[in-house]
Amino acid sequence: MNLLTVSGLFTRALCWPVFFGLALACVAALANFGLLFLSGWLLAGAACAGAAGLAAQQAFNMILPATGVRFFATLRIATRYLERLVTHDASLRLTGRLRVWVYTKLAPQAPAGLTDKRGGDLLSRFVSDTDRVGQSYTETFIPFARAILCGLAFALISGFFLKSAGLILALGLLVCTLPVPMSVGLLSAPCLRALTTQRGTFQAELADTLAGLGEYLTLGASEARIETLDSHQKTLQATERHLAALESGARSLMTFIGLLTTLYVVMLAVRAFHLGALSAPKIPMLALGCLAAFDVTQPLPAACQAFTRARIAAERLQTSCNAAPCVPAPTAPAPALHHPLDLIVRDISLRYPNTQHRVLEHASFTIRQGERVALVGASGIGKSSLISLLSRFYPYQGGEITLGGQDLRHFSTEDLAKTISVAAQDFHLFNGTIRDTLQLANPNADDTQMAEVLRTVQLEDFVQHAPHGLDTLIGDEGLALSGGQARRLVLAQALLRNTPWLILDEPTEGLDQKTEYALMHGLISARPDATILCITHRRTLIPFMDRTLTLAGGQICPAEEVP
């Protein structure tokens, strides 16, 4: 069962908002039915009494039904409002739970399992998929549960006055609740699945186009490319058109069935009236009730489509969440590191999953504790891959890496983080203030410590002149900062963690020489005893380092030994 993930979330904590929402939805639908049902009777009753003469007029009690009408009207107003509030609350709770669950499952897979080979935005898809599954409560569960429960109630109420009318209404409602929406669901399912693949293809093609924009331009192929994308779009839209036609058609069909049922009920009521089994005012009452009853079936075709959408989303989530992380989590707790914290890399090879190219081939090198080492090499050759390797994001094939005398395979990324701080190039800055950003790295850091590291990374001036100091917002993904500032803030995070090891990836990219010098100088005097591995292509950093390693042809060797 694919929605197991969702039903697993109907825990006790969620039980009452979920069923309270349903109860309110049912009461609202019943109030609507009651309002029209009673109004019909009121009008017809008054008309009958009015026609029957003065005695009947005086005998007719207007107060009670009039109060009833007002009661149902008020009830409908109040419950419809509360229903929306409670169901949205429950749906948000569900989405929240689901997100936390998905997040917990995805965390060990980052980053290897979270990159989409086809260029689509996998992460945004997690957002929309969890949304969709969470919303299936308001979009599918509530409409169906309400249609079934209220449909039964409507039939019983009508049946109380005229048994056959109740039966016919039940039959009409049953047809509109099960076969019609279900066949819409069945007919839509292949379309919706096709739509998912078509969307994926379109998105991948679009991503490819954006990546190759320049080449298409120089090839003079831009118009042809737009045409190709347009044809993909046409296929996609044909499917969407088909789905819309189905849904809208089904709704029309149900309205028609509603009228047929009403007419049939009227016929039965008239027959009963002629037989004297039913009073005249009950004919319009039953007719109006019947028309009102079909209101609950209107959202069902859309609910069926929403169900399929949610199912596809749940399947995708499940596949992603159940995927095995490419670096399996260590089974035993991390062993203690022995001093000195030397890094010894012996004969290792690195190949990314699903690729043939070996980034590292039988590479070996050693970094002793307290050393400052630069790693240089041409761009794209795999310098940053070494970070992925040393932080256990990707597995290495063959060879051995030890840190502090222990095999690196016994550690998870989180274990290693206690010893090694990394300032990577593709670091993510979270939406929040500068203080939030720094405290993320070290929750116990106080203002003095923060000021200190900001001075070291040459951001002190910037923060002092920023409108709110440490409480200045850095924007979504740090977009309110310049590239150089963002990079230095990341460096500040790494420094604040105060670990014996520091790995820096191009720490001074985008800085002028003066700032670069001040930064490196400050860094080394602030952390004289730290072991630093600095990945760079800038010669200006090399004087700050003890020695240089070069990465070329999958090998890492001291600079002077490069062939």
Closer of 123 and 156 to other proteins (Cβ)? 123
Residue type present at position 340: P
Q: Which is nearer to other proteins, 200 or 346 (CB)?
A: 200
270 binds other proteins (CB under 8 A): yes
Report the distance separating Cα 349 and Cα 359, nearest Å. 7
Interior/surface letters 6-44, b for 16+ CB within 10 angstroms, e for the rest: beebeeeebeebbebbbbbbbbbbbbbbbbbbbbbbbeb
Residues found in the chain: 563
Q: How far is CA 508 from CA 115, 428, 450, 521, 525, in A?
A: 27, 17, 20, 12, 16
Q: How far is the CB of 125 from other proteins (least distance, A)?
A: 10
Q: Which two tokens stand for residue 543?
A: 């004087």
Instruction: Give the per-residue contact string, 493-512, with other proteins (x = CB under 8 A; - = no).
Output: x---x-----------xx-x
- Taking CB under 8 A as the criterion, which residues in 319-338 touch other proteins? none
For every residue of 96-137, DSSP letters joined together read HHHHHHHHHHHGGGTTGGG--TTS--HHHHHHHHHHHHHHHI
104/464 with CB nearer other proteins: 104
Q: How far is the CB of 530 from other proteins (least distance, A)?
A: 16
**Tokens read off for 325:** 């992380």
Minimum CB separation of residue 258 from other proteins in Å reads 9
- Binding other proteins by CB under 8 A: which of 18, 24, 26, 49? 49
Near other proteins in 136-195, by CB under 8 A: none
Quick check: 111 and 327 in contact, CB under 8 A?
no
* Position 51 contacts other proteins (CB under 8 A): yes
Of 120 and 346, CB closest to other proteins: 120
Q: Which of 166, 390, 182, 415 is nearest to 293 (CA)?
A: 166
Give the per-residue contact string, 61-100, with other proteins (x = CB under 8 A; - = no): -x--xx--xx-xxx-xx--xx--xx--xx--xx-xx--xx
Residue 553's region, left for phi above 0, alpha for psi from -120 to 50, else beta, is: left
Which residue's CB is nearer to other proteins, number 78 or number 189? 78
- Print the binding letters for residues 383-412 with other proteins: x by CB under 8 A, - otherwise: --------x-x-------------------
Q: Is residue 221 involved in binding other proteins (CB under 8 A)?
A: yes
Residue 1 or 80: which CB sits closer to other proteins? Answer: 80
Residue type, 242: H
476: contact with other proteins by CB under 8 A:
yes
- The single residue among 248, 366, 397, 464 that binds other proteins, judged by CB under 8 A, is 248
CA 563 to CA 559: how far, in whole Å? 9
Question: Of the listed pieces 109-117, 152-160, 176-184, 452-460, which binds other proteins according to CB under 8 A?
Answer: 109-117
Neighbours of 468 (CB within 10 A): 11
For other proteins (CB under 8 A), the number of binding residues is 145
Residues 6+ apart with CB under 8 A from 467: none
Provide the pairing of β-strand 501-505 with 531-535. parallel
Strands 547-552 and 555-558: antiparallel
Q: HSE (CB half, 13 Å, CA atoms) of 34?
A: 21
Q: Which is nearer to other proteins, 376 or 556 (CB)?
A: 376
539-558: contacts with other proteins (CB under 8 A)? 539, 553
The closest alpha carbon to 181, from 298, 291, 261, 292, belongs to 298
HSE, side-chain direction, 13 A CA sphere, residue 554? 12
Toward other proteins, which CB reaches closer, 140 or 391? 391
- CA gap 194, 239 in Å, rounded: 8
CB of 109 to other proteins, least distance (A): 8
Which range of residues in 173-181, 343-351, 413-421, 449-457 is near other proteins by CB under 8 A?
413-421
Residue 116 near other proteins by CB under 8 A = no
Beta strands in 333-492 (DSSP E): 343-351, 358-367, 372-376, 400-403, 406-407, 420-423
Report in angstroms how near the CB of residue 434 gets to other proteins at its nearest. 15
**For other proteins, which is the closer residue by CB, 443 or 528?**
443
> How far is Cα 439 from Cα 441, in angstroms, rounded to an integer?
5
In the region spanning residues 250 to 269, those forming contacts with other proteins, defined by CB under 8 A, are: 252-253, 255-256, 259-260, 262-263, 266-267
Among 4, 15, 64, 103, binds other proteins (CB under 8 A): 103
Q: Does 43 bind other proteins (CB under 8 A)?
A: yes
Q: Which of 40, 181, 289, 500 binds other proteins (CB under 8 A)?
A: 40
* Position 440 contacts other proteins (CB under 8 A): yes
Strand ordering across the sheet containing 547-552 = 420-423, 501-505, 531-535, 372-376, 547-552, 555-558
Would you count residue 202 as binding other proteins (CB under 8 A)?
yes
The reply on whether position 351 binds other proteins by CB under 8 A is: no
Under the binding rule (CB under 8 A), the answer on residue 15 touching other proteins is: no
Least Å distance, CB 1 to other proteins, is: 25
Is residue 36 a contact residue for other proteins (CB under 8 A)?
Answer: yes
Residue 339 in contact with other proteins, rule: CB under 8 A: no
- The answer to whether 235 contacts other proteins (rule: CB under 8 A) is no
Pairing of β 400-403 and β 343-351 = antiparallel
Task: Report how far residue 65's alpha carbon sits from residue 71's, in angstroms, rounded to the nearest whole number.
Answer: 9
| Candidate segments 159-167, 338-346, 423-431, 457-465, binder of other proteins by CB under 8 A | 423-431
> Cβ 527 to other proteins, closest distance in Å?
17
